Amino acid sequence: MEKPCTSCESCLMPFSKDPGVRESDRYCSYCFKNGKLCYEGHDLKEFQKVCYESMRSHGMNPFKAKFFAWMIRFAPRWKK
């Protein structure tokens, strides 16, 4: 049985923490906008950097942002 999706498949942000309006059941409002994924590449490292910069620009402290960026490797989208 599949568990209900409660966090973004791309960045692992819990939907309960999503301040925006989600367009997709699978992705948060940051990752998925205007009908498509904001980052369409397949480079985990690059995506982590994009997320890190984004979290920092939202005022998150560097340690927290680094941790969340590191966690992204466990998101379903990046599983090999």
Residues that bind Zn ion (CB under 5 A): 8, 10-11, 13, 28, 31
Q: Are 9 and 26 in contact (CB under 8 A)?
A: yes
Question: E strands within the chain?
Answer: 32-33, 36-37
Tokens of 23: 């367009």
Nearer to Zn ion among residue 8 and residue 69 (C-beta):
8
Nearer to Zn ion among residue 3 and residue 30 (C-beta):
30
CB of 53 to Zn ion, least distance (A): 14
Nearer to Zn ion among residue 5 and residue 62 (C-beta):
5
